Structure 1
Amino acid sequence: MPEVEWLAGSWLSPQPAPVRRLRMLRVFSMLVATGLLLACLTAYVLENYTVQPAFTEGSGGGHPRAEQPPYPGRAMDNIFWFLQVSDLHISRFIDPQRTPDFKKFCTETIDVIKPAIVFATGDLTDAKTKNRIGSVQHEVEWQTYQATLKQSRVLEKTKWIDIKGNHDAFNIPSLKSINNYYRKYSAHRQDGSFHYVHQTNFGNYSFICADATPSPGPKRPFNFFGFLNQNKMDELSKLASETVCSNQTIWLGHYTTSTIISASPGIQKVMSSAIAYLCGHLHTLGGLMPVLHSRNEQGTLELELADWMDNRKYRLLAFDHDLFSFVDLKFDKWPAVLITNPKSALYSSPRHEPLGKIKHSTHIRVLAFSPSQITSVLVSIDGIALGNAVHIEGPFFSIAWKAEDYSKGTHYIEVQVQDIAGRITVSGHSFAVEEIKLLPFDIMASFILLARHHIMARVLFILVFLANVIIIVAFRYRRKPQLKESSGVFTLTIFSFHVLCKTNIFYYPVLLFTCYVAVGPWFVGEVIDGQFGACFVFGIVVDGHFFEGSLSFIFGIFQLTLFNIPLMCYLCWCLLLRCRGACFRSHIKYTGWIRTVPMHIFIVVLFMWQVYSCYFLLITYGTAAFFLSPVRTWSVPLALVLVYKAWTLNNSSIRMFKAEMKNCTYS
């Protein structure tokens, strides 16, 4: 190969000092630029997700009614409570106990708690195929959901508001499609965002339900992120303006704000007038994060609720004199207890609620629920018992206290509730009577809930992609290292990259395949049944709609780090052994079993992961997508051909490299 031999001559030729200095300057500049980019990214994360906004009650951001009566007292006044349940995943294939438990929730739990409203925040049905890979709307699952609501007569007992989740939008070509069973079987039955006003004799309370599900709805997994285009954001802004006369406002949705791609000014800013945003979707991240609560920069609480599907969780919430309190509960665990005054300091929001009413309150106020009669509600503060709270009415208990005795710092209130069946529940939290700096939330929970993950994934993908391409191109045109009689592993590794990048049969396929991951369609197929579309790393095109890339960037990172880059490194390793004079049958004597076997096992595992990705593509998006997938399906034979060539190629370039390594000792 004359071209390779000519390049080889250029590598061996001495480089002038100015050229060496220029190359060193370029490398140094690249390192500085990369370091600055990483520093900026780190600073951004630390600034936005480790430091809570320093709101205080007296800092000018306090609530205008903080000092105005009425104040929390002995009577059950100015209070109402409601429930949230999320991620029901009614399924025809798995967990047969899920639906009976949900029916019991709609009967016994609702009968005991008697909430003013129940919000079901998405993923009402599972919408998966029997193998758990594909996605399809099963009408029987929706019929089961509706039958449960009707048989339990829960719609007659309370206001039931259900909103869509991503599973409820799987594989739906349009909102008018007959497969959009939400319109037929849900309690709300209307697509889109809406504003519900709960009216009481002490004021109105606004609940804005934000629908971020994509339309049309792609098959899984590419609707894990929600989308709010400019029209939907304008609609939400209009709904937000309708809440100015309400005592309090709460937003609800299925997706966390970190998994919503929203147009300007962003979903978190639009909901800034709300005290809290209630959502689900993340399912405690498989048990790794059982509590996902935080507060955004505008002071709005973001409270993700663990799923009903596996964890059987639900949430009890209350407004008591416009003070917001809540507790996450386990289904069928009684008594259920919620302390409404004094409220938790961690979940305080001076800009949204009148915290000053706590210091003017005359009584500690508790809601206690149980199917059996409550026998005692023992209250203590800082370990000192105050006595039993008095039953006033329904689930409401209160006990007198002097708030001024706890005016400094934070204190811990604990309530022990026992019912006649002998069941005991202990609930408590830290509280503050006077203004304090807000307590910080868990940094990991804040990062998961508040970070713009689609932007971070995009930046990380670009960095990984550029690093991969720069390495390939740089080794193509840089001079190779001079081998000595005893070269170290690092020198030999660098040499192996030169062998790969300066051999055309490997250089061009590896470079072009890496570039294709970033610019070409990964597959073309039925993104929605009956509708062909194309999936790129930067987004999905289907039926004239474009959905911005989100989860696709994460898959792109996996593709590069778990296939492209390992394949390139494995080819370098094989070529290095070839240059040492080894073939596939004899290469073990050059490296030994301890090094060789783990290397082959590692590559086989990654290769099988790529094969499984092809199978996943076939099951999820059909035969056409399987055969029209350069990134997945076509990459498998490409990898096999390149590995075969690495062990069998014996052209002039390989012979030249062999000659250079003849006197080198592999160490």
Structure 2
Amino acid sequence: MLPSGARMLKVAAGLLAAALVALLLDWYSPSGPPQQLLQGRSFAPEPAPGAEANNLFWLVQVSDLHISQFRGPSRSSDFEKFCTETIDIIQPALVLVTGDLTDAKAKDDIGSDQIEVEWQTYQTVLKRSKVMEKTKWIDIKGNHDSFNIPSLDSVKNYYRKYSAWHKDGSFHYIHHTSFGKYSFICADATLVPGPKRPFNFFGILNANQMEELSLLATESHDSNHTIWFGHYPTSTIISPSPGIRMVMRSATAYLCGHLHTLGGLMPVLHTQHHHGTLELELGDWKNNRKFRILAFDHDLFSFADVNFEEWPVVLVTNPKPSLYSSSAHEPLQRILHSTHIRILAFSPSPIKCVKVSIDGIHLGEAFQVSGPLYVLKWSPQSYSQGFHQINVTVQDDTGKSTTQHHSFTMEENLSLKFGLLSSWILLADHYIWVRVVFALMVIIQIAFLIIFRYLGRPLLKGPLTRAMQTSLSLHILSKTNFFYYFFLLLSLYTVLGPWFIGEMIDGHMGACFSFGIIVDGHFFQGSLTFLIGILQVMFFNIPLMAYLCWCLLLRCQGNCFGSHLYNVKRYHSVPVHLTMVVLFFWQVYSCFFLLQTYGAMAFFLSPLRTWIVGLTLFVVYRSWTMKSSTLRIFTAQMKNNQSS
């Protein structure tokens, strides 16, 4: 039995852990905006969705084209087919291309630069397809479109020359219709100047840019809806208080790309901000050929993420999914007052039938009103309570069919939750937690060094357990001046840098620190640098320290470098050496990456990469050869313990 105090402490710890988990679930799995935070607009119940083809328009989003000179030639050929055939079939009022128009990566897939041929290919597709004559085409920059650009006026800023939009920076575009106006606000967080990869993976907005975006948000207040769009998810944008999400809180949705479905691990990355704004990351065109259709039907917002050349494409605009509903931004009561289910169906072949069922009960076949709009009369009052599921199956004349289904509800107090992982990816400010983790790892390593440095030597009695051996090895390393000061300085230097000095942009010198990069007189605060720092500490600094602790312990047990392979069980020693060799070659590869990315100067002026490779070999050699009073004392102490 545990003492009562220990039991109470255990219960308290359990309750605290449960509270933290509940808080995380509530914060990162939003089921809808807290009503006390929202100052929603008042919407009239009319006009309600009916049988007429009115109060409706749709648009398309595509992202991360990565048109490349060296890889994936089908990216551009498929994209041209998309611009000619897909756009002709869908006939959107507007197309948003949310960044990374070109790949801008060298043939070795390591270096980065703006490659004019890629931009010319992109522009050729636009001109040859005449897509800009068919629809409003708005294309913005991504981080790849900003690699290695010293200034916006640079001749390397090919975006100004070859894109359809041409204009750098954030902007406000208004789409006018007979039933109102709709605002589209671009948040451009790309870095200026733009360093080479990978240090513009996070976007940055300064105070002036945030003020500009606030003014654009104010301009859009009289629009029916406001859609924000950009390349970076908000979780990868560094912005000053009150933060980018607060500035866009009046928006119905924020559209972005950049994360590429995380290599297929997260094919759907959607969530909702706590002020009701949806954040909808779109999978890439590069490998997945994704695009998105969005619609405003009687000011009800809906969308579908679809794959290129997978027909028919189906989008149910009424009733809309409850998961993606926001009473603060949409007139949801219009669903209850509607007279018809409304469906957009697209296919290169004529649509043969559109079958509709709710809760497994077949309601009938929708009929075509005009263009892609199909409607079916219904009685929404029959579904006024609880959740219901609508299924729509569309079949074309070639026999191809697509089924779309989602849950809907008429009750505003009912809601569904977004996935915890996708919400964490899109809602967490990742540049903050990587700073915290990096700082904690370095502090813990330094704390171990200092604590064991000033702890008294342990008294050895009897056989050494694993815990005793670990403690003893830390004592040996920390009390040996050479190794103590080496790891203390290594830890401090990892924090304070500079990691390397070189051409962050061709012809422009800069320096990389854990807390940010300096390039051509501009400072960009740390983001990805902290993540790289975490990897450096986790996979090299700490393992090297642990490895040397183990080597010094073996020495004090009377082993030399060759003899320990026979005196110590090989299945213990060989894996330890092999692990350290693998991590050492990882460090060597990082030097090669530095050389290929930033050139010879950065390679030679890199204490944390190139220099540490040589120093590692030296300190490992010293661990097996150096003679010191500390090592003699511990060796004698261990011999006495073995003899007794």
Q: Find the residue that maps to 1:615 and give its secondary structure.
A: helix
Whether 2:379 is the aligned partner of 1:398: answer: no
Distance in 2 between residues matched to 1:124 and 1:39, nearest whole Å: 45
State the partner residue of 2:241.
Answer: 264
Match of 1:452 in 2: 429
Separation in 2, partners of 1:172, 1:597: 48
Shift of 1:478: 0.7
Q: Which residue, out of 526, 529, 544, partners 2:506?
A: 529
| 2:314 aligned partner | 337
Q: Does 1:354 align with 2:354?
A: no
Distance 1:520 1:325 in 2: 49
Q: CA deviation at 1:50?
A: 3.4
Instruction: Provide the residue aligned with 2:3 in structure 1.
Output: none
- Say which SS state the counterpart of residue 529 (structure 2) adopts: helix
The aligned counterpart of 2:466 is: 489
Kept in 2, the 8 Å contact 1:61–1:350? The answer is no
SS in 2 for 1:337: strand
1:616 match: 593
**Relative to structure 2, which stretch is displaced further, 465-474 or 647-656?**
647-656
Work out which of the residue numbers 243, 248, 254 in structure 1 matches 2:225.
Answer: 248
Distance in 2, matches of 1:43 and 1:417, equals 41
Alignment map for 1:251-330 (pairs within 5 Å):
251-330=228-307
Query: What residue in structure 1 maps to residue 415 of structure 2?
Result: 438
Secondary structure of the equivalent of 1:631? helix
Distance in 2 between residues matched to 1:353 and 1:480, nearest whole Å: 70
* 1:12-27 map, 5 Å: none
Residues 54, 238 of structure 1: alpha-carbon distance in 2 compared, 3 angstrom cutoff: closer
CA contact (8 A) 1:76 1:396 kept: yes
Q: Which residue of 2 aligns with 1:87?
A: 64
Deviation at 1:41, TM superposition (A): 8.5
Counterpart for residue 207 of structure 1: 184
What's the CA shift for 1:53? 4.2
> 2:184 is matched by which residue type in structure 1?
F
Q: Supply the distance in 2 between the matched residues of 1:50 and 1:361 (Cα, whole angstroms).
A: 30
Aligned pair partner of 2:123 in 109, 123, 146: 146
Secondary structure of 1:333's aligned partner: coil
Report the TM-score when normalising by structure 1.
Answer: 0.92
Indicate if the aligned counterparts of 1:72 and 1:361 stay in contact, CA closer than 8 A: yes
Partner amino acid, structure 2, of 1:474: I
Q: Distance in 2 between matches of 1:374 and 1:292?
A: 30
From 117, 126, 129, give the equivalent of 2:106. Answer: 129
SS at match of 2:305: strand
Alignment-derived partner of residue 27 in structure 2? 48
- Aligned twin of 1:8: none
Matched-pair contact (CA < 8 Å) for 1:55–1:350: no
**Partner residue of 1:162?**
139
* 2: CA distance, partners of 1:179 / 1:411: 54
Separation in structure 1 between the aligned mates of residue 37 and residue 292 of structure 2, nearest angstrom: 32
Instruction: Tell me by how many angstroms 1:436 deviates.
Output: 3.0
Whether the aligned pair in 1 keeps the contact of 2:30 and 2:271 (CA below 8 Å) is no
- The Cα of 1:588 is off from its aligned counterpart by 2.0
Task: Map Cα deviations across residues 257-284 of structure 1 (whole Å, 9 max, x no partner).
Answer: 0000011211000000000000000000
CA distance in 1 between counterparts of 2:38 and 2:444 reads 48
Matched pairs, number: 631
**One-letter identity of the residue aligned with 1:240:** A
Q: In 2, distance between residues paired with 1:434 and 1:397?
A: 25
1:64 aligned residue: 42
Alignment of 1:581-620 (within 5 A): 581-620=558-597
| d(CA) in 2 for partners of 1:176, 1:437 | 52
Give the distance between the partners of 1:165 and 1:452, measured in 2 at CA. 19
* Matching residue of 1:477: 454
Deviation (angstroms), 1:438: 2.5
Cα offsets for 1:103-151 (capped at 9, x unmatched): 0000000000000000000000000000111100000000000000000
1:417 aligns with 2:417: no
Deviation at 1:591, TM superposition (A): 2.4
Distance 1:378 1:261 in 2: 47
Classify the secondary structure of the residue corresponding to 2:286. Answer: coil
1:550 maps to what in 2? 527
Kindly provide the CA deviation profile for residues 70-115 of structure 1, in whole angstroms up to 9, marking residues without a partner as x: 1100011100000000000000001111111000000000000000
Shift of 1:45: 4.4
Distance 1:590 1:93 in 2: 54
**CA distance 1:440–1:648, change in 2 (3 Å):** same
Matched letter for residue 503 of structure 1: T
Q: Where in structure 2 are there 5+ consecutive unaligned residues?
A: 1-12
State which of 160, 165, 181 in structure 2 corresponds to 1:188. 165
Deviation of 1:665 (Å): 5.2
CA-to-partner distance for each residue in 1:288-347, whole Å, 9 max, x for gaps?
A: 100000001111000000000000000000000000000000000100000000000000
Q: Distance in 2 between matches of 1:527 and 1:210?
A: 25
Distance 1:59 1:595 in 2: 58
Write out per-residue CA displacement over residues 555-576 of structure 1, whole angstroms, 9 at most, x where no aligned residue. 1111111111100110010000
Q: Which amino acid aligns with 1:64?
A: S
Equivalent residue of 2:285, what SS?
Answer: coil
Greater mean deviation of Cα atoms: 432-441 or 353-362? 432-441
Residue 508 (structure 1) aligns with: 485
- 8 Å Cα contact 2:272-2:279 kept in structure 1: yes
The normalised TM-score by structure 2 is 0.95
Distance 1:633 1:495 in 2: 32
Q: Deviations over 1:515-571 (max 9, x none)?
A: 100012000000011000011000011111110000000111111111111001100
Distance 1:190 1:72, change over 3 A: same
Q: 1:613 to 1:196 in 2, by over 3 A?
A: same
What secondary structure is seen at the aligned counterpart in 2 of 1:346?
helix
**TM-superposed deviation, 1:655:** 1.9
Aligned match of 2:516? 539
Q: Secondary structure at the match of 1:413?
A: strand
Q: Residue 302 and residue 60 in structure 1: after superposition, are their counterparts in 2 closer, same or farther (change >3 A)?
A: closer
Task: Give the Cα separation in 2 of the matches to 1:392 and 1:59.
Answer: 40
Contact 1:62 1:354 in 2 (8 A): no
Q: 1:47 to 1:376 in 2, by over 3 A?
A: closer
Amino acid at match of 2:581: V
Change (3 A) 1:429 1:104: same
Task: Return the alpha-carbon distance in structure 2 between the equivalents of residues 511 and 610 of structure 1.
Answer: 19
Q: CA deviation at 1:434?
A: 2.6
Cα pair 2:449 2:488 within 8 Å, conserved: yes
> 2:356 is matched with which residue?
379
The 5-angstrom pairing of residues 71-82 of structure 1 reads 71-82=48-59
Aligned-pair CA distance for 1:60 = 7.9
Cα distance in 2 for residues equivalent to 1:157 and 1:481: 80
Aligned equivalent of 1:7: none
Structure 1 residues 228 and 654, CA, compared in 2 at 3 Å: closer, same or farther? same
Check the 8 A contact 1:63/1:355 in 2, yes or no: no
| 8 Å contact kept, 2:282–2:291 | yes
C-alpha separation in 1, matches of 2:417 and 2:462: 60
